[in-house]
């Protein structure tokens, strides 16, 4: 990026997908100065509690501070934020925390510029989540992780319990949005159904339970 800036090239538009906790002031300024016009981050959850349980190893408050730094450097374009609801130990409380966190991102970048992207956790080979699925007989030993047959593929998607059914209903309702704003509609419906916590609650670090938790995305 520094080389691009030194060349004086000012007609480039490019997109970034980065861990937002890795940004510093110098990098943020270079990203803006060299034409970054789309910024994508994957945080999975706006609940620090769940981020720790999934072993994602980043601090949500640092992510917010770095996003503020990016805006201060002059970034004024679209942002995509990736969420996966109903991960390990998701509850209505942690959903409320994610809603609060997302609203703060809208405050930072501008509501119309933040697009939430909704993903589901998928089981991957050689991960702790796969080990959990095998131990609990969700998957059978020697299964084919590349199989697209329904009896295999459906078990590779992590969306359990009553929240899974609820999230399915939310997604179906959001698909009816005529303005093609699926992600934003999902967030709005979840806030309607569960409400919103304080940002302080979202960022609160809680002790991890003894239960072995894992992640795979």
pTM here?
A: 0.88
Flag whether 131 is in a domain: no
Which residues form the domain of 53? 2-120+159-203
What is the rounded CA–CA span in Å between residue 33 and residue 19? 19
Based on the number of CB atoms within 10 Å of its own CB, is 43 exposed (0-12), middle (13-18) or buried (19 or more)?
buried
Flag whether 217 is in a domain: no
Q: Which of 209, 213, 44 is nearest to 132 (CA)?
A: 213
Flag whether 125 is in a domain: no
Flag whether 135 is in a domain: no
Flag whether 189 is in a domain: yes
pLDDT in tens, the chain (217 residues): 999 999 999 899 999 999 999 999 999 999 999 999 999 999 999 999 999 988 888 999 999 999 999 999 999 999 999 999 998 889 999 999 999 999 999 999 999 999 999 998 888 899 888 998 899 898 899 999 888 888 888 888 888 888 999 999 999 999 998 788 999 999 999 999 999 999 999 999 876 654 444 444 4
What's the token pair of residue 107? 């405050």
Q: How many domains does the chain have?
A: 1
Flag whether 149 is in a domain: no
pLDDT in tens, 55-113: 888 999 999 999 999 999 999 999 999 999 998 889 999 999 999 999 999 999 999 99
Based on the number of CB atoms within 10 Å of its own CB, is 208 exposed (0-12), middle (13-18) or buried (19 or more)?
exposed
Flag whether 153 is in a domain: no
- List strand residue ranges (DSSP E) for the chain, in order: 14-17, 36-44, 78-84, 114-119, 121-122, 157-158
Based on the number of CB atoms within 10 Å of its own CB, is 12 exposed (0-12), middle (13-18) or buried (19 or more)?
exposed
- Laid out side by side, the sheet with 36-44 consists of 14-17, 36-44, 78-84, 114-119
What is the rounded CA–CA span in Å between residue 180 and residue 141? 41
Flag whether 142 is in a domain: no
Whether residue 205 contacts residue 48, with contact meaning beta carbons closer than 8 Å, is answered with yes
Identify the CATH number of the domain in which residue 168 sits: 3.30.750.200
């Amino acid at each position: 990026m520094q080389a691009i800036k030194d060349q004086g090239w000012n007609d480039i538009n490019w997109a970034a997908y980065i861990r937002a906790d890795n940004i510093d002031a110098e990098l943020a300024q270079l990203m803006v100065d060299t034409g970054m016009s789309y910024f994508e981050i994957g945080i999975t959850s706006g609940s620090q509690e769940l981020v720790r349980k999934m072993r994602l190893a980043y601090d949500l408050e640092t992510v917010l501070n770095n996003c503020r730094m990016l805006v201060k450097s002059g970034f004024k374009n679209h942002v995509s934020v990736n969420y996966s609801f109903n991960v390990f130990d998701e509850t209505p409380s942690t959903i409320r925390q994610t809603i609060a966190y997302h609203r703060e991102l809208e405050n930072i970048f501008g509501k119309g510029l933040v697009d939430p992207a909704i993903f589901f956790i998928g089981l991957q080979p050689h991960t702790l989540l796969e080990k959990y699925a095998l131990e609990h007989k969700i998957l059978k030993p020697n299964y084919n992780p590349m199989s697209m047959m329904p009896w295999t593929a459906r078990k590779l998607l992590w969306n359990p319990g009553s929240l899974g059914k609820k999230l399915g209903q939310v997604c179906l309702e959001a698909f009816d949005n005529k303005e093609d704003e699926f992600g934003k509609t999902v967030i709005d419906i979840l806030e309607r159904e569960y409400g919103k916590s304080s940002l302080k609650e979202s960022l609160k670090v809680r002790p991890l339970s003894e239960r072995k938790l894992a992640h795979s995305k």
